[in-house]
Each structure stands twice: as structure tokens, then as C-alpha cells.
């Protein structure tokens, strides 16, 4: 093991790559895919250590604003990354869209009520939705329902959640009749939930960028670039994400 470590260190030094430790803050809906991507990245760059921090995109932005040591930011929407850019928290040149998703209405597998479109939501009692001000999935859902004139009508039924995975958990446990989540989230829990329909929204794009406060910008750029690599894209697609 020691010989292998020495060999890897020598290889990194010879290639001019300096090992480093970085923190990657990623949207909650990326949790599973990014865990695997971090593992793949570690095999490609064995000297680098990656700490993965996941939460709602709005929460990640607040953490960064408050001085959290973040090197790479990956959000579930362009709006949150736009705010990070406006506050000069990211290196604009490193920003790239790396994945696409879709918003769906998920219901328990054994749901008694048949739901085929947004209008049917009047027939359910409780709907899980991410807080629109901090959870991109919630913001997408609010915009879509407002366009159909349903948001205010359905407001009394909403159970607001801290992130999209919490909304999914409520559906899985049967604590709500339906939840507005990402297609990738519903796919993870196919044994317990089913997709009633795909909610028409603007493009659900995931951007990644290196932060301006990164103490390890070279390693941060390596990781941000790796997320766009064929290997990382295969992992993302295996979790239901599509190319941007």
C-alpha cells in the first residue's frame, strides 16, 4: 500500500498536478449521483480529497455567502447560480451547465386517487412542495402552477419542505397524497412511488462553477471539469439526468 501511495504521489508530481482537498456543495437532488462521481474522481485523481456537502440550492448559496469554505458549487437551477454570480461568489468563466432534469408529480404506488394532470390536484388533500424561496424544485413548481392559475387555489394543501428529497420522503411514507419532485428523485424510489405526470416547466438545468473564495482553485477546476467528462455524464445518466 505504501509503495502504491508513493507511486501515485510521484505520478502526480510528474504530471504537474498538486493534490488538494476541496469541498463541493451540490443540490440535494444530486446527492446519489455526486457520491458516485466523487468516487470516480478519486480514482482519477487519487491525491485529491473531496468533501461533499448537499442541501437545497438556496441553503448552499446562504452558506457560501456566510463564508463557508466551499470550492465548487453545483445548483439545481440557473437562478441560484445567477445570484451567486451577481454577489461575485463564483468565477464566472468556470460556470457550465452539466445536466438537465424534469419536474414530475409523484404519488404513492397504492394511491387511491387517479391523477393525470394538474387539475386533478383539487382532489387530493396534501401536496409536498419545496419552499419556493430556497428550493429550486419548489420554485419551478410554483411557476408552473401559477401559469395554470392553480397555485393560490392549491396553497392550503401545500406541505412545504426544506429540500426536494424531503418532499419525496413524505410521498414514500404516505404522509402526503402527492409531491412535486424531480424525475430523478422519483426514479430512485420506484418501489414506493410512481410518476403521475410530467409538469411542464422551463428547462431544469444544473450549472456548476468554481467559487471565488476557493483555497484550492486548481483542484476545484479539476472537479468542475470532471463533472462534464464522459465518465461523469454516464453516471448522471444512470440516475436519470440527461445532457444539458
**Residue 135, all three cell numbers:** 428550493
CA dist 217 → 16, 72, 204, 212 (Å): 15, 9, 27, 8
The answer to whether 57 is annotated as binding is yes
- Determine if residue 29 is labeled as part of a ligand binding site: yes
Strands (E), 88-225: 96-101, 103-108, 127-130, 158-161, 178-182, 193-198, 204-210
Contacts of 41 (CB under 8 A, 6+ apart): 48, 50, 222, 223, 226, 232
State the pairing for strand pair 178-182/158-161.
Answer: unpaired
57 three-class SS: helix
Is 137 within any annotated ligand binding site?
yes
Number of other CB atoms surrounding residue 129 within 10 Å: 29
- Taking a C-beta distance cutoff of 8 angstroms, is the pair 75, 24 a contact? no
Binding-site positions:
29, 57, 137, 164, 182
Q: List, as residue ranges, the binding site for molybdate.
A: 29, 57, 137, 164, 182
Amino acid at each position: 500500500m505504501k509503495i502504491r501511495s508513493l507511486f501515485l504521489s510521484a505520478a502526480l508530481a510528474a504530471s504537474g498536478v498538486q493534490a488538494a482537498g476541496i469541498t463541493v456543495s451540490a443540490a440535494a437532488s444530486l446527492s446519489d449521483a455526486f457520491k458516485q462521481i466523487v468516487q470516480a474522481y478519486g480514482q482519477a485523481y487519487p491525491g485529491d480529497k473531496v468533501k461533499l456537502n448537499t442541501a437545497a440550492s438556496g441553503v448552499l448559496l446562504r452558506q457560501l455567502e456566510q463564508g463557508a469554505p466551499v470550492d465548487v458549487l453545483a445548483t439545481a437551477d440557473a437562478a441560484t447560480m445567477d445570484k451567486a454570480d451577481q454577489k461575485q461568489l463564483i468565477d464566472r468563466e468556470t460556470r457550465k451547465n452539466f445536466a438537465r432534469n424534469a419536474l414530475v408529480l409523484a404519488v404513492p404506488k397504492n394511491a387511491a386517487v387517479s391523477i393525470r394532470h394538474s387539475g386533478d390536484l383539487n382532489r387530493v388533500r396534501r401536496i409536498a412542495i419545496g419552499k419556493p424561496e430556497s428550493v429550486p424544485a419548489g420554485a419551478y413548481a410554483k411557476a408552473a402552477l401559477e401559469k395554470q392559475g392553480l397555485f393560490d387555489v392549491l396553497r392550503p394543501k401545500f406541505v412545504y419542505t426544506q429540500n426536494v428529497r424531503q418532499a419525496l420522503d413524505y410521498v414514500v411514507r404516505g404522509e402526503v397524497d402527492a409531491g412535486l419532485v424531480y424525475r430523478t428523485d422519483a426514479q430512485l424510489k420506484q418501489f414506493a412511488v410512481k410518476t403521475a405526470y410530467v409538469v411542464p416547466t422551463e428547462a431544469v438545468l444544473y450549472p456548476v462553477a468554481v467559487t471565488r473564495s476557493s483555497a484550492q482553485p486548481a483542484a476545484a477546476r479539476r472537479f468542475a471539469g470532471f463533472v462534464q467528462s464522459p465518465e461523469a455524464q454516464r453516471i448522471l445518466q444512470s440516475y436519470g439526468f440527461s445532457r444539458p
